[in-house]
Amino acid sequence: MSIVKRFITESIKKTEIDEFLQKKLERAGYGGVDLSKTPLGTHVVIYAMRPGIVIGRGGETIKDLATTLEENFNLSNPQISVSEIEVPEFNAHVVASRVASALQRGVHFRRAGFWALNQVMDAGALGAEIVISGKLRTERARFEKFRAGYFPRCGEPALKYMKKAEAHVQLKPGIIGVRVKIMPPDAQFPDKIQIVEELLPEENVGEKEEEIEETFSERETEELPEEQAEEKVEEEEASEETVEGEEAKE
């Protein structure tokens, strides 16, 4: 298998696992998955708002997940660990599922979109965009965007820091899609430069001034003998010149 095909198959497998876990752990507040290969097997990290539901009573749910991942998705010896989401508003999967559940309950799409957008921006995100598409008001499908904050669309920050997620909900008119993009507050941009100035405490400043004075005094003491030697050389040269002048007169 070539390198290109291997990367494609691995990305397809990760997408299938993500969709499976999103349906399986919807009640637990699923927030994404990370896969990494280790010498012992495959390390699977599941992010969720309620880790207790993922683990289950006595670890039954997490054991069933490990067996299904090994049998259905050909993961070698999957070792699953669950991580709790600290700030749910910065997780695109959680925000998309919240908007989808609000639409399923019958909330108007504009109200659900602005409500989710305000929650994300109030939490401290740099920027966010929510797109709701489908048969929103008429038989003809369309989409509506809700955007706020600083939101770059291309370049390294958009590829490296932007968090994306999609969710779908079945309503009477048809399927409604929700796409969420979030720029977290820890994103770094090349056009924003921070100059850090370290302010030393008063004690350290006094000690450093004393050290500088000591070094200057040592240098002066070292330079004194050299100056005296130069003066002696100049005196000898002047005496030789006077002697030569007297001999020339004679």
Q: What is the pLDDT of residue 66?
A: 86
Question: Quick one: three-class SS letters along the chain?
Answer: CCHHHHHHHHHHHHHHHHHHHHHHCCCCCEEEEEEEEECCEEEEEEEECCHHHHHCHHHHHHHHHHHHHHHHCCCCCEEEEEEECCCHHHCHHHHHHHHHHHHHCCCCHHHHHHHHHHHHHHCCCCEEEEEEEECCCCCCCEEEEEEEECCCCCCHHHHHCCEEEEEEEECCCCEEEEEEEEECCCCCCCCCCCCCCCCCCHHHHHHHHHHHHHHHHHHHHHHHHHHHHHHHHHHHHHHHHHHHHHHHHC
Q: What is the pLDDT of residue 132?
A: 93
Q: What is the pLDDT of residue 76?
A: 84
**End-to-end CA gap in the chain:** 106
- Encoded tokens for 130: 């929510």
pLDDT digits (tens, 9 = 90+) for 144-167: 999 998 888 888 888 888 888 888
How far lies 139's CA from each of 15, 38, 103, 176, 215, in Å?
A: 31, 51, 17, 13, 85
Q: For residue 184, how far is the Cα from the chain centroid?
A: 7
How far lies 47's CA from each of 13, 62, 84, 205, in Å?
A: 18, 13, 6, 48
Q: What is the pLDDT of residue 207?
A: 64
Beta bridge partners of 118: none
Phi/psi of residue 160, nearest 5 degrees: -90, -40
How far lies 99's CA from each of 102, 173, 178, 208, 223, in Å?
A: 5, 17, 7, 59, 78
Q: Which residues of the chain have pLDDT under 70?
A: 1, 198-210, 212-250
Q: What is the pLDDT of residue 219?
A: 59
- Encoded tokens for 64: 């069933």
How far lies 56's CA from each of 52, 65, 225, in Å?
A: 6, 11, 84
Q: What is the pLDDT of residue 114?
A: 92
Q: What is the pLDDT of residue 179?
A: 93
